[in-house]
Structure 1
Amino acid sequence: MDENLIFDTLREALWVAVKVSSPILTVALVMGVVVGLFQALTSIQEMTLTFVPKMAAILVAFWISMGFISATMSDFFRHRIVPLIAGF
């Protein structure tokens, strides 16, 4: 196995990881900013106020993007990893 093939596979795997995690991380970032602004405006410093809405938004984002995540991961494995294992 050529080292260029390994590096290309690792590079593509990192891009797949970025694509898969970006919807969830974007929602967490937006919710963190919104809750932080709400806390700053109302002077409420409750720890559960930051945790519960952010976790709920992350769960909803994960549920909505589950099809995209599974399609992206299965395409990567079908077109990149399985041919490497099979030796094509």
Structure 2
Amino acid sequence: MGETVFYDTLRQGLWVAVLISTPILVVALVSGLVVGLFQALTSIQEMTLTFVPKLAAIAGVFWITMGFMTETLVAYWRGVLVPLIAGG
């Protein structure tokens, strides 16, 4: 395997990782900002108040986007990695 093929495969793999992680990271960011704003406005400084809503939001988005994540990974494996492993 040449350097060009290696780096192109690595670049595509990193792009797939970015695509898959984006929905979860965006929801974690937004829910963290909303909870932080709520805590700042009400002066409630409870540790579980930051953890539980963010965890619930992340679990919900993961459940909703699980099909997209699976399809993206399968397409990457079938389109890029399997041909390389098979000798193409």
TM-score of the pair, normalised by structure 1: 0.99
Q: Give the distance between the partners of 1:51 and 1:32, measured in 2 at CA.
A: 9
Give the number of aligned pairs: 88
Q: Distance in 2 between matches of 1:49 and 1:2?
A: 51
The aligned counterpart of 1:29 is 29
Superposed displacement of residue 65, structure 1:
0.3
Unpaired segments ≥5 residues, structure 1: none
TM-score w.r.t. structure 2 length? 0.99
Distance 2:86 2:21 in 1: 28
Distance in 1 (CA, whole Å) between partners of 2:2 and 2:49 is 52
- What stretches of structure 2 of length at least 5 have no aligned partner? none
- In structure 1, give the amino acid aligned to 2:46: E
Query: How many percent identity over aligned positions?
Result: 66
Question: Match of 1:62?
Answer: 62
Please identify runs of 4+ aligned residues in structure 1 that moved more than 6 A.
none
